[in-house]
Structure 1
């Protein structure tokens, strides 16, 4: 079974008791939605725990606080209010506990945060009553080695990117999949994207859109020197090894979900593998991936609609 399986859940599910809240900082709209959400959950007699960083923008909220990692240990469900970036950050921590994660969209596109503020009480209420689906999404682990010594690491739900940082120089590197040599490439870098990340940075780089249930990765060259370099799709269980060329005049950066995690030197080796843990995303019943694509990407509707 794919590591991104979808599981329908019905009324027989034990009710949620402890609900964690995480919100994007610096947004008045997020604060307003969080306050609405707390009132709604309080009225239902649920135990609400607020992430400690989120609590800094919720003065006198009257609920216990905990770190993001502790929310995963204490809560049955964590609700993230913000954009996809907010959910990505929460997912990287909460995957370790297997806690269910539900997103309320207060960002732009909202591929992962699929409840709008206008339907907050209705949709969250349905989830609390057991009407929801769970989708497991896998993540990536990235490790940078220098002379066989680990010098940097990170994890990602969307993508791991090798890029030149602020320098305007091409990177030369060798790519190996499961120990087999694939190619030597000169380009601005390489995007290694999960199906979840196929609608993010990879899409901007010309990568394919992949259904979330696929158990694959896509490798997308960034402005390659040769026109024959094209994105390739590989098994998600593959070990990806990138050997930074010894003659590079720049120090490539390794970013995970848009955050720089390490800076490589010539002759370093970047190793990327599928993470053992998965994140458990909650969707309202009837969630449709293709409907989301039509809505977010402006695709045409059916003839006659």
Structure 2
């Protein structure tokens, strides 16, 4: 029987967005607790400077990636998306403390932050790997300002102007699938299936499956339906030359760049993954029931 080797945590990093008083309070509570437990602590500088963290413990996110054994993210799902895109290059586990609205990715509640973090550091955790997507505008390789980014949740094509439909073609593994006139397209990972894709009528996908969904937004024909495909597929989107205005490409709603009429962009599965740690009692389907208001057993 295979026995998973438990991780060891010596240096711990903290990331977050302390724009709200409650977030800053939780960061300070956790910082003081871990310091009392004799862990070496590093805090992302954009967080630390707002909270009077000692200068020698304020570092860039790159330094967190290079030196930490674990990064704890305090905030909402947006904070975790930001951290995951940065830390995936360093193959470092992330642990989330929820100080946001939904908390699909940050599953420790602030009232239990010290208790649950202590359990994880003592080896009471489960591990999970989730894939990311990457998008690149065709022909941008080698340019001075390449339009390239990755996403944990979704990559979204949408109009550059409000209430203006756009036209585009979708290809999967170089095979033409369909052309669409509508408000755009959401390409979602299983992680993102409970985010924007869900609001647009896309399917909820278990994080364990290797699939992505393509969800047209307000298509002009009722036959344009969401489809799920292998995450190992190559998806190409051609933004029609007939469009009068540029469109926008959004990665997790945090990185955006323009797409011009006639341009093509490619979406692929990223080689690097997001590495999550959860408390031992984590249950994905219980999380869905709680967040989405599903009924209990009869």
CA shift at 1:15, angstroms?
Answer: 2.7
CA shift at 1:43, angstroms?
Answer: 1.4
Partner of 1:107: 100
CA shift at 1:193, angstroms?
Answer: 0.2
Are 2:97 and 1:69 aligned? Answer: no
CA shift at 1:25, angstroms?
Answer: 2.9
- Correspondent of 2:229 among 207, 221, 234: 234
Are 2:79 and 1:83 aligned? Answer: no
Are 2:10 and 1:26 aligned? Answer: no
Partner of 1:191: 186
Supply the distance in 2 between the matched residues of 1:20 and 1:63 (Cα, whole angstroms): 13
CA shift at 1:167, angstroms?
Answer: 3.2
After superposition, the Cα gap between the structure-2 partners of 1:289 and 1:147, relative to the gap in structure 1 and judged at 3 Å, is: closer
Aligned residues, how many? 295
Supply the distance in 2 between the matched residues of 1:188 and 1:118 (Cα, whole angstroms): 41
Runs of 4+ in 1 over 3 A off after TM superposition: 60-63, 146-151
CA shift at 1:154, angstroms?
Answer: 1.0
Partner of 2:8: 15
String of CA shifts for 1:245-266, please: whole Å, max 9, x gaps.
1110121100000034210111
Are 2:138 and 1:145 aligned? Answer: yes
Supply the distance in 2 between the matched residues of 1:160 and 1:147 (Cα, whole angstroms): 17
Partner of 1:95: 88
Within-5 A mapping of 1:29-40: 29-40=22-33
CA shift at 1:62, angstroms?
Answer: 6.1
Partner of 1:4: none
Contact 2:75-2:99 at 8 Å conserved across structures: yes
Partner of 2:113: 120
Are 2:289 and 1:294 aligned? Answer: yes
Q: TM-score, normalised by structure 1?
A: 0.93
CA shift at 1:216, angstroms?
Answer: 0.2
- Correspondent of 2:123 among 125, 130, 135: 130
Local SS of the residue matching 2:114: helix
Contact 1:20-1:48 at 8 Å conserved across structures: yes
